[in-house]
Amino acid sequence: MKLKYLRPIALAATFTSMSMASPNGMTLERERYAAPSGSCDGYPRLDIGTIKGMCAGLVSGPTLGSNHRKMALPRSLVQLDDRTWLVTDLGSWDLPRGVVWKLESQRGEEAILTPLIRDLNLPHALSIGPDGLAYVGEMSRIIRFDPRAPNPVDTIEVVVAGLPDNKLHDNRHPLSKFVFAPDGSLLVNIGAPSDQCVNSRGQALGKVCPESEEGEQAASIRRYALISPGQWAPEYTVHVRGLRNSVALAVHASGTILQAENSYDFATRWSPFEELNVIRVGHHYGWPYCADMGAATPAWKSKASWCKSNEHERPAILLPPHTAPLDMLWYDGAMFPSLQGRLLMSWHGYRSVGGRIASYAADENGVPVSDKDASFPVYGAKARPFGASPAATPVVLTPGWGLVPGKRPQGSPVGLAIAKDGAIWTTDDRAGLVIRLARDQ
C-alpha cells in the first residue's frame, strides 16, 4: 500500500518544562526520535527493536522540525470503532490542562486529533463501561460521558466524587486508576501520599503508618458497590490495604484481579523489586512496612516479624526493580497467535530496566507462572538473575527500546490496548506518541 505521507516525520522528544516533569518531580532530557523509515503494516516505521515478526508503527506524534505537540502526556487509550480511538492526556502535572482526545487513524493516512473534553485534572484511566459510555479517572473523581454525542461535554456525569486530592506532595501518586470488578463494583486506586511514610529524619510516623491505616485510607484500593445499572454507592469500603500505587490494575476473564505495584523509590539500583499481586478482599499487602517477599523496610524494622507473618499478603511474583509498571492486560487478539493468553505489561521506568513492553506466560486464572533461575533484561548489560523467588523471566516485545543517541530516547510506555485487528497499541507519554505494534510484513 502506498503511503500518503508527503514528507518525513520525526518525533520531537524535547518539550516544555511543563511536560518534562516526571511524577517524582525530576526533569528528564529527551533524545529525539529519528524520522521513520519504511512501513510497519501501513504506518511509518519507528526505530524501535521488537521481537521477530513484529514492528512498531507511528500513529500520532510531533512532526519534523517542530517542538509543538498536540498531546502533551498521552496515557490510556481505548478503541471505539475500526478507525476511532479515545486517548487521555494529562496535559500537565501541575495544572488542570488534561484532555480526552478523539484520534482517527487508518493505514496510509495522517491521524486526526480532535479534543472532546478539555481542562480535566490529571485524567489517566480510561475505559468503556458496560453502558457503552467512556469512563475517565481524574485526580479526585471519576466521570463518564458519551463519546459519540454531538457535544460530549454536555453528557458528562460524575460517577465517583471525593477521591483524595493528593497531588501537591513530594511523592506524587494522584492518579485514579479504576476497574470494573466481576460483581459490577468499581475498584479505585488510592495512591500513598509518600514513599515510605517517614518524617524528615527518615523515621517511622508512629507505631503504625497513618497513611496506610487511618484517615482517607491512602495506600489502598477502594470498592464502590454497584447499587443499580450505571449507579454506584457514594460510600466506599476499603477493599485492600498496603499498596503504594495501584496504577496497573486488571481483571481477568476468570475473575482474578491483578495489581502491579510501583514499589519504593530506594536509591539502590537493584532493590526493591516491584510486585505483581493477586487482589484478595480484606488483605494487607505490606506498604510501608515490607518489601519484596517479607523484608522489613529501613524505617519500619519494628515490623520485621509482621512482614514474615501470614497477616502480610505476599506477591504472586516479583517484578524487576524500578520498572514502574503502569498498565497490563491479557492478549486476546488474532494478529499474534503466540501471545494468546499472555499477560502484557508496560514498564515506564526511566532506569535501565524500564522502557519496555513485557509479556508473561499465565495460568488459567491469568497469573504469571514462575520459573526457576528467572532473570530480567537490563539495557547495556547482560540479563540479571532475580536471585529471589517466585519470579518469572519475561518475553520482552520491545527489546530494542533503549536510548540510542541520534535514533531514539528510551521508551516510556504507559497505556496498552488490543485493537480489533489484534495489533497492540501503546502510548509514550514523555515523547507524546501513540504507537502501534503490528505483524511485520
- Quick: pLDDT tens for 60-72: 987 444 566 889 9
Please say whether the beta carbons of 16 and 36 come within 8 A. no
Give the burial class of 91: count Cβ atoms within 10 A of its Cβ; 0-12 exposed, 13-18 middle, 19 or more buried. buried
DSSP state of 290: E
Q: What is the mean pLDDT of residues 391-399?
A: 98
How many residues are there in the chain?
Answer: 441
pLDDT tens digits, 102-131? 999 999 888 999 999 999 999 999 999 999
- What 3-state class would DSSP assign to 219? coil
The residue among 303, 312, 313 whose CA lies nearest residue 279 is 313
Cell numbers describing residue 44:
511509518
Residue 1 has pLDDT above 50, yes or no: no
In a domain, 263, yes or no: yes
Cell numbers describing residue 221:
484500593
Q: What is the mean pLDDT of residues 172-185?
A: 91
pLDDT recorded at residue 167: 62
List, in sequence order, every beta strand (DSSP E) within 391-432.
395-396, 413-418, 424-428
In a domain, 106, yes or no: yes
In a domain, 11, yes or no: no
Tell how far CA 328 is from the center of its chain. Answer: 7
pLDDT tens digits, 19-40? 334 443 333 445 678 888 899 9
The residue among 241, 240, 236 whose CA lies nearest residue 225 is 236
Residue 171 has pLDDT above 70, yes or no: no
Q: What is the mean pLDDT of residues 49-55?
A: 98
Residue 215 has pLDDT above 80, yes or no: no
Please say whether the beta carbons of 348 and 414 come within 8 A. yes
Determine phi and psi for 227, rounding to 5 degrees.
Answer: -110, -20
Q: Does residue 380 come out as left (phi exceeding 0), alpha (psi in the -120 to 50 range) or beta?
A: left
Residue 12 has pLDDT above 90, yes or no: no
pLDDT recorded at residue 169: 53
Cell numbers describing residue 8:
518525513
pLDDT recorded at residue 86: 98
Residue 11 has pLDDT above 60, yes or no: no
pTM of the model: 0.92
Q: What is the mean pLDDT of residues 3-19?
A: 32
In a domain, 3, yes or no: no
CA torsion 341→323→400→46, rounded to 10°?
80
Residue 162 CA to residue 69 CA, distance in Å, equals 32
Residue 243 CA to residue 190 CA, distance in Å, equals 9
In a domain, 7, yes or no: no
Please say whether the beta carbons of 242 and 219 come within 8 A. yes
Q: What is the mean pLDDT of residues 156-183?
A: 84
The residue among 14, 129, 78 whose CA lies nearest residue 426 is 78
In a domain, 302, yes or no: yes
For the four alpha carbons of 79, 350, 90 and 180, in that order, the dihedral sign comes to: positive
Residue 17 has pLDDT above 90, yes or no: no
Full residue range of the structural domain in which residue 200 is found: 17-439
Q: Among 7-11, 26-30, 136-140, which stretch is predicted with the lowest mean pLDDT?
A: 7-11
The domain that holds 387 is classified in CATH as 2.120.10.30
DSSP state of 19: H
Q: What is the mean pLDDT of residues 398-426?
A: 96
Cell numbers describing residue 429:
507519554
Q: What is the mean pLDDT of residues 351-365?
A: 97
Number of domains in the chain: 1
Give the Cα-Cα-Cα angle 126, 129, 133 (nearest 5 degrees): 85
Higher-pLDDT residue of 9 and 29 is 29
